[in-house]
Amino acid sequence: MATGIHYEVPAPAAPDEARQELDRLLNNLHKHGVLRIANDFLEASTDVSRIVLAGANQPQSRNVMQNVSLLVMALGKVPPERLAVLSRAVTEGLERMETAADERQRSRAPGLTGTYKLLHDEALWSGLSPLLEGLRGFAQCLHEKEEKPAAKRHD
Amino acid sequence: MPDSQLCTVTVDDRKLVGPADIPLIEFLAGHQISLPHICYDATLGALQTCDICWVVADGQLQRGCSLKARDGLRIGVNDEQAEQARREGADRIVARHELYCSVCENNNGDCQVHNVVREMEIPYQRYPYRQKPYEVDDSHPFYRYDADQCILCGRCVEACQNIQVTETLSIDWQSDDPRVLWDGGEVANESSCVSCGHCVTVCPCNALMEKTMLGEAGPLTAMPASLKRPAIDLIKAVEPTVGFPLIFGLSEIDSAWRQPEIKRTKTVCTYCGVGCAFEMWTRDRKILKVQPVEEAPVNGISTCVKGKFGWDFVNSEDRLTTPLIRDNGQFREASWEEAYRLIAHRFNEIKEQHGPDALSFVSSSKCTSEESYLMQKLARAVIGTNNIDNCSRYCQSPATQGLWRTVGYGGDEGSISDLAGAELLIIVGSNTAESHPVIATRLKQAQKHRGQKHIVADLRRNEMVERADEHIHPRPGTDLVWISAIIKYLFDNGLEDREFLDAKVNKVEEYIRSLESFTLEYAEEITGIEAQRLAGLARMIATAKSACAIWAMGVTQHVNGSDVSTALANLMLVTGNSGRPNTGCYPMRGHNNVQGASDFGAMPGRFPGYEFVADDAVRERYEKAWGVKIPSGKGYNNHTMVQAIHDDKIRSLYVMGEEMAIVDADANYVQEAFDKLDFLVVQDIFFTRTCEQADVVLPGAPSVEKEGTFVNTERRFQRLYQVMEPLPGCKPDWLILTEVAGALGAPWDYQNPSEIMDEAASLAPMFAGVSYDRLEGFKSLQWPVAADGTDTPHLYMDGYPFADGKAKLHALDFYPPGEKLDETYDIHVNNGRLLETFHEGNLTHRSRGLRSLVPGNFVEVSPDLAARRGVKTGSLVKLISPYGEISVHVLVTDRVTGNEVYVPENATDNEHAINILTSNDADKDSDTPAYKEIAARMEVVQVDGPPPLPPTNHRFWKATPQSGVLTERKWQRQDYVQPPGQARNPEKF
C-alpha cells in the first residue's frame, strides 16, 4: 500500500562563494601551468639556486649589477632639490634649443663683429661658466686611473 | 547554384560573381568584404535605420542593406563619399549610445555597436553623447529597457511586429525624443507584450537586456552602480584625450577576459513540441541567458516566454538530490546502491509472484528519445512485459490513430515551412499562439504578410480566433459532424479533387456512402453552425490551391478524438491537400519529446519506429539483438494501467518524469489506484504529487544536465548537449535506467547516449541513418531517415506507406460526448494550457518571473454567466463534477461564452487541478482521456476576492499593429539629414 506521504526537500546549504572563487583561482593557476612552475621551482630550489648563482657570477652579469648599483648610488648622492633644479634647467634648455632650432632659418652668421660682441656678452659667459667648469671636472675624472668605485669612494 | 541565379557585381573595379537578388551586405560578405552595418539582420531584413552601410551605386549613395545584388551593378565601397556617409552614420550612433563597454553586459564579443565602431576605426566621439529624458524601464520581470543606450535601430520593433507578430512595440519617430514604446506607452510591463524575448534577442546593444545578465556577464559588470557611474565618468573624462582606440583596447581585453567564464551550449527547449533550439549561456550553474541563433532549423531567432526565460527550475532549491525510500511511514534519504537494490528486489519478487505483466512502465515526454528507448527496453527485455507507454496517451494518440488509418505515418506530414507556405489553414481545437507559440508566429506572419487565410474552429476566443478570417464555434464535441458535412458537400457539388482521389486514394466510394447522414442541415442541428456558413467554408477550402489542417487537444481529448483526427485527414485527402508542398495534416505535438517517446517504442504495442510487437519477424530482430524472449501481446497503456491496478492485475509501476497523479484524467481515481500498488518507483527532478505515493524516488536530471535527442512535431531529430553537470546527487535518466537494469542483472554498458541511439538506429529501419555525427550542432534530420542519412522533410511525396502506395479514406460515425450537461451539471468546463505555464506547472511554477505573470489557477467565466450567477472577477467558486471538486477564483472574460467556462491545467495540487473534475471516459480508439468533456456545476463560495491575474498580464492590453518600423517617418523629420550631411540633433534619431 502506497499511501501518500508529503516530503519537504531540505533546503540546500548556501553555496560558499568565497570557496568557489578560491577553487576557481586554484583551477586557473593549475590550468595555466603556474602551479606547476611554482611547484617545480620549490621542489628544485637548491639546484635552481645554484644555476641562478652560476649564471649571475659571469662578467657581464656582474657588470650589469655594478653599473645599476653605481647609478643608484649616484642618484643617492644628489639632493632632491638639486636634481629638481637640474631637471628644470634641462627642460628649459631643451625648450630654448627647440625655439632656436625653429628660428634657425632667420639666424645669420655672426661674422667678425658679431663674434667680438659675443666675447663681451656678460650674460652669455655667466651662463656658459658652469658648463665649462662642469666639462673641466668631467675631463679630469676621465684622466684618473681606473679603480674600483668602492675603493675610490672610501679614499 | 545555377548560372541563372548568379550575377556579376563590380565592386571598386573588382568583378565579383555571387547569388543575385540578395542584399548587397550578404553578397559582399560572401566575398569576405565587410560592409559595416547594425540594423540589418538576415531574419529582420533591411530596416534602413542605422545609416551606416552606405555605398555608391550608379553614382548615388545607397544603403547596402536595401540594395540587391544584380547583374551589371557597379558599386563603390571605398568611395570617399560612401566612407564619409558611413562615418557620419556611425558618429550618430555613438551620439545616442554611451560607450562604456567594459562595464556593459553586452560586451561579449557579439555587440554590433561595439564591433562596428571598432571595425570602422572611429577615432573619437565627434558628436557629444546626450542623455535622453527617460528613466530606465525596469518594470518587466524578464528584461530592462534603457532609452539612453537605445540607438533606435528598430530591430526590436520589427521583431515584435513582423516576426513574433504580437505587434506591441513601436518607435515614436515624430516625438521630440523618440524611443521604443509598448502599446504606445513607456512601461514595458503594462502592455500586450507576451515576453517572447524576440526584442531582447535582436537588440544589437544593451538597450534591451535580459535581467539575468545584469551584473553577471563579466567581472566588471558586477561593480555596484555606485561605483559604475563614477568609473564610467572617469573613463569618459580621459576619452577626449586618448580617443576611442585605447578605451576600445581595454574593452577588448574585458571581452576576451569574459570568454573563459561564459559557456555557450546548444540545447533544445524542454517545453512544447515546436522544438526550438538555441544557445544557453551559463557561468558555472548560473544561466545567464538563452540566445537563439539564425541557424536553428525550427525557430531561428524565435522563442516564447518559457523557452527564453523559463529556466529557473533548473537551479530551484527544491530539486531532488538524493534517492528517497519509503520507510515506516516517511521518506528517508538513501544511497543509489540501496535504492537500486530495493528496486531490483521488489521487481523480482513481484515478477516471481505475479508474472512480468504485473509490472508496468511509463516513460516521459520530457526525457530524451534515448531514455524512452531504454525504458521500453527495460520493460520488454529485462522484465518481459509490453506494459510500457508515455504521455502521448494523454494528448496525441488519437491524432496518430487518425493518421495511421488514412495516410500511414503517425507524424506531421511536412514541416513548419509547409504550414507557413499554405494558402489556407484549417485550425481546429488548437490554441496555437499559447500552446505552440513559435509555430503560431509563422502562421501569423503568413497571414499578415502573405495573405494566408485561417479558418479557426474553437470554443474559446483565443488569439488564433481573434486573428481568424473565419471563426466557427461548434457545440462541444461535435467537430466530426461539421467536418464530415463539409466533405459531403464537396462531393455533392463536385468540389472534391477527383484526379487526386482516383490516382492516390482507396476506399473512396465506400467513404462517400458513409457520409449520407452528414447533411448541412444535420450539421447545423448538431453543431449550431448555420448550413450556409458551412457551405461557404467548404467552397473556401475547395478553392484554396494549398491547405493544411492543424489540430490539437481540442480535437483529440474527446471520446471520438481518433475519429475527428481521421475526419480531418479525410478532408485533406478529399481536397487533394496531401503529398505535395504546403499541404497535409499537422497535429501539434504537445511536449518537447512526446513524438520521440512514441517513436522510440514507449508504446504498448509497438517497437521503435512503430513496428508491431506482434510481428514475429520484427520481434525476432529485437530478441536476437537483445538476447531475450519478448512477449508478443500488446500491453496496457497509461490509461488502462490505472484500471488494471484497480483490478489487481498490475502490482508495480515505474514512472519516469511524469506527474501522472495530476495529469491523468479522474485524478482521484488514479491516486486511489496508486494507493493499491505494491511498489511504485518515481523518477523525477522534483518531489511531485506522484512522488507522494512512491516507495522509491530517484532524482533524475533535466534536459540541460544531459545529452540526447528530442524529436519535435515535424518529426525532426535535434541534439541537445550537456549545458552543465547534473546537480550533485542527481543522475541523467539514461544512466539511472542503465544502472537499474544492471541491478536487475542485465549487462547494459552504455557510456554515452550516442551508443543508445546507434543501437536504436541499427534496429529500427525508420531511423537507420540517424547518428550523433549527422546531428552535430544545429543539424537536424526528419524521419524516416535512410541509412545514407537522407531524411524526409515532407512525407508522401512518393506515395503512402501502404501496400499499393495509396492513402485510404476512412468511414466514420458520430459518437457524441460522454459527459452531457443536465440540470445538475449545467456548466461545460473546457481546459488547456496557458502561454506562461506548462502542463501542470511543475517546471514553470518554479520561475518567479512566470509566476508573477500568472500567480495561480482560475476559471474563465463569460460576462453572461457571471451576471446570472452574481460573480465577478476575483470571486471564489467551486466547480463540482461527478468525480470531484476544485476551488478557483473567477476571471470574467469574453474569451468564453454562455455556460462554457475554461480552467487552465496550471495546478499541481488536488485543490485546483482540473483533472479532479475529469471522468474516466476516453477516446474509444486510443484510450486518450476525454479531458475536454466535463460537465460540472458552479457554486459561489465568496463573491469578493483578489483578481486571479495581475493587471499587468498581457491579456488586458491592446496591441498597436503597424507594418513595421516605419523608418520613412524618421526620414520625414525636419531635423533628419541624409549622411554624409551632418546632423543637427544626432542623438534624436
> Are residue B900 and residue B848 in the same domain, yes or no?
yes
Q: Is residue B57 in a domain?
A: yes
Instruction: Kindly state whether residues B295 and B379 are assigned to the same domain.
Output: no
pLDDT(A155) > 50? no
User: Would residue B452 count as lying in a domain?
Assistant: yes
Triad B419, B423, B427: Cα angle to 5° = 55
Q: Which of B38, B68, B89 is the last residue before a domain boundary?
A: B89
> How much is the pLDDT for B4?
76
**Residue-range definition of the domain harbouring residue A133:** 111-147
For the cut 80, the answer to whether the pLDDT of residue A102 exceeds it is: no
Task: Tell me if B351 is assigned to some domain.
Answer: yes
CA distance A40 to chain B (A): 26
Please indicate, yes or no, if residue A117 is contained in any of the structural domains: yes
> Which residue of chain A comes nearest to B681, CA vs CA?
A2
CB-based contacts of B222: which residues, under 8 Å, 6+ apart?
B215, B216
What is the CA B852 to chain-centroid distance, rounded? Answer: 21
Q: Do B320 and A3 touch (CB under 8 A)?
A: no
Q: Is residue A37 part of a domain?
A: yes
* Separation in Å, CA of B316 to nearest CA in chain A: 10
Q: Which of B315, B652, B674, B730 to mutate to test the interface with A (most CBs of A within 10 A)?
A: B674
A60 has a pLDDT exceeding 90: no
Per-residue pLDDT at B45: 97
| Cα angle B49-B51-B54, degrees, rounded to a multiple of 5 | 135
Phi-psi domain of B58 (left: phi exceeds 0; alpha: psi -120 through 50; beta: other): left
Domain of residue B571 covers 397-587
Nearest residue of B to residue A7 by CA position? B331
- The three three-digit cell numbers of residue B869, written as one number: 450567477
> How close, in Å, is residue A37 to chain B by CA atoms?
22
Torsion angle of the four alpha carbons B156, B158, B163, B168, in this order, in degrees rounded to the nearest 10 = 70
Which ranges of chain B have pLDDT less than 50?
none
In a domain, B797, yes or no: no
CB contact under 8 A, A12 and B692: no
CATH, residue B287: 2.20.25.90
* Residue B747: CB atoms within 10 Å: 7
B409 & B548 share domain: yes
Q: Is residue B986 part of a domain?
A: no
To the nearest whole percent, how much of chain A has pLDDT over 70?
88
C-alpha–C-alpha distance, residues B584 and B714, integer Å: 12
pLDDT at B512: 98
The phi and psi torsions of B955 (rounded to 5 degrees) equal -65, -20
- Based on the fold, state whether residues B380 and B311 are members of the same structural domain: no
| pLDDT of A41 higher than 80 | no
Residue contact B675–A12, C-beta within 8 A: no
Among A1, A7, A20, whose Cβ lies nearest the Cβ of B675?
A1
User: Could you tell me if residue B535 is inside a domain?
Assistant: yes
Q: Are residues B911 and B950 in the same domain?
A: yes
Contact B693, B724 (CB under 8 A): no
Last residue of a domain, one of A13, A38, A55: A55
DSSP-derived secondary structure letter, B601: T
Residue B435 inside a domain? The answer is yes
Residues B508 and B385 in one domain: no
- The pLDDT assigned to A49 comes to 74
* Cβ–Cβ gap A7/B674 under 8 Å: no
Number of domains in chain B: 5
Beta strand extents in B818-975 (DSSP E only)? 827-832, 858-861, 876-881, 884-892, 900-904, 935-942
Same domain, B476 and B422: yes
| Same-domain status, B481 and B600 | no
Q: How far is B811 from chain A (nearest CA, A)?
A: 45
Q: Which residues of A touch B674 (CB under 8 A)?
A: 2, 4
From residue B66, alpha-carbon distances to B22, B369, B549 in Å are 9, 44, 36
| Single residue among B45, B60, B89 that ends a domain in this structure | B89
Q: Do B692 and A11 touch (CB under 8 A)?
A: no
Q: Measured in whole angstroms, how far is the alpha carbon of residue B794 from the centre of its chain?
A: 20
Quickly list DSSP for A24-91.
HHHHHHHHTTHHHHHHHHHHTHHHHHHHHHHHHTSHHHHHHHHHHHHHHHHHHHS-HHHHHHHHHHHH
Partner residues linked to B61 by β-bridges: B56
Together in a domain, B295 and B415: no
Question: Is B794 inside any structural domain?
Answer: no
Domain boundary among A36, A55, A74: A55
> By CA distance, what is B685's nearest residue in A?
A9
Does the residue A97 lie in any domain?
no
Which pLDDT value is given to residue B797?
97
Residue at which a domain ends, from A38, A55, A72: A55
Contact between chains at A9 and B694 (C-beta distance less than 8 A): no
The nearest CA of chain A is from the CA of B323 a distance in Å of 11
CA distance B859 to B892: 8
Question: Chain B interface residues facing chain A, Cβ-Cβ under 8 Å?
Answer: 284, 317-321, 324, 326, 329-331, 671, 674-677, 679-680, 686-687, 691-695
Residue A105: inside a domain, yes or no?
A: no
- Give the Cα separation of B528 and B563 in Å (integer): 20
Domain count for chain A: 2
- Which of residues B587, B609, B643 is at a domain's end? B587
Amino acid at B863: P
CB B149 within 8 A of CB B107: no
B827 phi, psi to nearest 5 deg: -115, 130
Distances from the Cα of B190 to the Cα of A57, B86, B122, B139, angstroms? 78, 38, 39, 8
Is residue A121, in this structure, part of any structural domain at all?
yes
**Would the CB atoms of A7 and B324 count as touching at under 8 Å?**
yes
Within 8 A of B686 by CB-CB distance, chain A residues are 9
C-alpha to C-alpha distance for A49 and A55, rounded to whole angstroms: 10
CA distance B728 to chain A (A): 11
On whether residue A127 sits in a domain, the answer given is yes
A5–B330 CB contact, under 8 Å: yes
Q: Looking at the structure, do residues B658 and B530 belong to the same domain, yes or no?
A: no
Three-state secondary structure string covering B900-923: EEEEECCCCCCCCCHHHCCCCCEC
Q: Does A131 map to a domain?
A: yes
| Residues of chain B found within 8 Å of residue A5, distances taken between Cβ atoms | 326, 329-331, 692-693
Instruction: Check whether residue B490 and residue B363 sit in a common domain.
Output: no
Chain B residues with CB under 8 Å of A4 CB are 671, 674-675, 692-693
Q: What residues of chain B lie within 8 A of the CB of A15, using their CB?
A: none
**Grid coordinates of B19:** 547569388
3-state secondary structure B235-270: HHHHHHHHHHHHHHHHHHHHHHHHCCCCEEEEEECC
> CA B380 to CA B652: how far, in whole Å?
15
Residue B874 to residue B886: CA distance in whole angstroms: 15
Q: Are residues B520 and B650 in the same domain?
A: no
Q: Is residue A50 part of a domain?
A: yes
